[in-house]
Structure 1
Amino acid sequence: MDPRDLNVKADWNCRTINFNADDPEDLALAESISQVGVKQPLTVYTEDGKAFISDGHRRHGATMYAIERLRAEIKSVPVQTEDRYSSEADRVFSQIVRNSGKPLTPIEQARVFKRLIDLGWTEKDIQQKTGLARQWIVELLELQAAPAAVTNLVATGQVAATLAMSTLKKHGGDGAKAAGDLTRAVDKAQAEGKKRATAKHLDVSEKPKPVHPDTARLDALRELAGYVENGTDTSVSISQEDDATRDWVVRVGKNYWTGNSFRDAIDSAAASLARESGE
């Protein structure tokens, strides 16, 4: 089908931006399409005699960029049609399950969940369909309902979604107080030459309580996961080597850290994170 004949509903896709030429990954996709075309079919549905995209907005954006800016001669792209009985909720949910390319960020996931709630789904429905923890779903819904001062910091990568959610929880869901804490944390991080604020940049008004070592380790793992939550490789795993060493390994994307025990491996990863933050 001619990509020029495909329609995109404004704000239907939950991605912040369907295609961004300033994003190296998006630009690489456009360059690839200009050379070899689109290999994975876009999914469309018909409404009022027009074909609308329900899956493949980024590929379509990259295709149009390749045609208009890279002068690629692309006459058609492969498409497949939605099941005739698909509902609007089915199409919205597909943004989670069909997303095999660039993963949705937590903020974008939250938009999908909120739209499903508006269409009559419950948190339990979303949990059963996605296999995600219900607590994660609830916290993302709370995050998307927070003031723009909070969500913008997450969307721009200045704070991790996990940090924003924990700060909201600390203030009992008071978005204004959470926004104040996070904004001050970002200012402090930028004063240190850092691009992203972490928990250490938050102001602590009361005397800190003793932290159990394992609690600190869990926080370290959440911080490590925060580095990849907006990236293309969100693989985070902990395993024990099946060899003579029997070492434990923490893997985040292409990086890994080892230790003689489960705790040692996490401590090694946390120490590496601390060194990186100090650079």
Structure 2
Amino acid sequence: MAQVNSLKSLNRASTDVSKSDLFSVAPHLILEEDGFNTRGAFCEDYYERPDIKAGIRSLADAYKRGDYVPPIIVKVRDGKVFVREGHRRRRAILLAISEGADIRKVQVLEHKGDEAEQTLLIATSNDGLPLTPLERAVIYGRLARWGWSDQEIAERVARTAEHVRQARSLLELPLELKKMIQAGEVAATYAAELFREHGEDAVSVLKQAQQETGDTPKKVTRKKVEKKNAPKIGKKVVEAMHKSVSSLTKRLDTLKEEGDTFTLTLTRDDVEELQELREKLAELEAEPRVDEKQQELTL
């Protein structure tokens, strides 16, 4: 009996081994369909991002070396071969070819499902690049428009229906806010919280925080926004507070205890100082954004 040293020969000898749906296709035949891939949703120049370019570069080098790279998953429609999973791999192949690599055909796996199944592939694939909350939201929104319930979507992506609902709610945010989320300038959950609180003005709140903290376009956190909006206390108010509190603490020895209550004796001057401080604090609350950049202390 002849030795069996390949899957092809083993397939001939055993019914337990069968051929797959792998095909070899010329790279120039593999196309991207506009709007299908949710990665980079609401982003301009997604493939120019440093992290994405670095990933494509790494894949291109792997193709040049002849390393194993998982096949691209495609869908054939009207004679055209469209990527369904492996957009970065497609670009990496073209990059390697442009740099002299002699890649004439690449392996692809044909996807048999409908549009919904093809979209789910983006959410469930092991591409190594995690989806952002907004990229997931676009997938869930697309399925919802096709009549899928939150529970049905949740079951297919191994999440909860509440997760799906919250993710889809991100699609209701203003376009500029979604762009800031995708650019990594603000967390999706905090952006949604600001939108519930400020509506369309949430974008202005974030941009003002960026300008005042000098962090543009770095991520704006809750701490930075709250710090920016914290009331400012001028030196005069601080001095008045210090004087009043000092005066009160010096009189603690005069406290008279009457059960669970205490009586503190104040002079007329003490009372006038406290009244004056109360008026200054009232003015501060009414006008929390006093611009005294060189003479302010943050409360």
**TM-score bracket for this pair, using the shorter chain length:** 0.5 to 0.7
Question: Which segment is superposed worse, 106-115 or 176-185?
Answer: 176-185
Instruction: Give the share of equivalent positions with the same residue, in percent.
Output: 26
1:6 match: 30
Query: Compared with structure 1, are the counterparts of its residues 140 and 122 closer, same or farther at alpha carbon in structure 2 (3 Å cutoff)?
Result: same
Gaps of 5+ in 2: 1-24, 232-299
Deviation at 1:115, TM superposition (A): 1.2
1:200 match: 223
Deviation at 1:206, TM superposition (A): 9.1
For the Cα contact (< 8 Å) 1:159–1:186, is it kept in 2?
A: no
2:121 match: 94
Distance 1:39 1:194 in 2: 35
Normalized against structure 2, the TM-score is what?
A: 0.60
Select the residue among 187, 202, 205 that pairs with 1:178: 202
Select the residue among 131, 156, 159 that pairs with 1:129: 156
Query: Compared with structure 1, are the counterparts of its residues 168 and 99 closer, same or farther at alpha carbon in structure 2 (3 Å cutoff)?
Result: farther
Distance 1:127 1:187 in 2: 39
Select the residue among 86, 101, 107 that pairs with 2:134: 107
1:60 match: 90
Distance 1:188 1:133 in 2: 39
Equivalent residues, number: 200
1:148 partnered with 2:172: no
For the Cα contact (< 8 Å) 2:72–2:83, is it kept in 1?
A: yes
Deviations 1:153-182 (A, max 9, x none): 1111111122212223434xx3x1322222
Distance 1:21 1:166 in 2: 27
- Which one-letter code corresponds to 2:108 in the other structure? V
Query: Compared with structure 1, are the counterparts of its residues 32 and 21 closer, same or farther at alpha carbon in structure 2 (3 Å cutoff)?
Result: farther
- Judging by fraction of residues, say which structure has more helix: 2
- Give the alignment of 1:15-26 within 5 angstroms: 15-16=39-40, 19-20=47-48, 22=50, 23-26=53-56
The root-mean-square deviation of aligned C-alpha atoms, in Å, is 2.5
Deviation at 1:67, TM superposition (A): 1.2
For the Cα contact (< 8 Å) 2:210–2:216, is it kept in 1?
A: no
1:266 match: none
Asked which structure has the greater CA Rg, the reply is 2
For the Cα contact (< 8 Å) 1:20–1:26, is it kept in 2?
A: no
For the Cα contact (< 8 Å) 1:140–1:165, is it kept in 2?
A: no
Distance 2:46 2:70 in 1: 16
Distance 2:139 2:188 in 1: 16
Deviation at 1:47, TM superposition (A): 0.8
Question: Which segment is superposed worse, 17-26 or 144-153?
Answer: 17-26
Query: Compared with structure 1, are the counterparts of its residues 162 and 26 closer, same or farther at alpha carbon in structure 2 (3 Å cutoff)?
Result: farther
Distance 2:224 2:202 in 1: 13
Query: Compared with structure 1, are the counterparts of its residues 77 and 37 closer, same or farther at alpha carbon in structure 2 (3 Å cutoff)?
Result: farther
Deviation at 1:89, TM superposition (A): 0.6
Deviations 1:16-56 (A, max 9, x none): 16744743223222222222256201111221122211111
For the Cα contact (< 8 Å) 2:151–2:160, is it kept in 1?
A: no
- Give the alignment of 1:28-39 within 5 angstroms: 28-36=58-66, 39=69
For the Cα contact (< 8 Å) 2:185–2:217, is it kept in 1?
A: no
Select the residue among 100, 103, 113 that pairs with 1:71: 100
State the structure with bigger RCO (CA 8 A, min sep 6), 1 or 2: 2
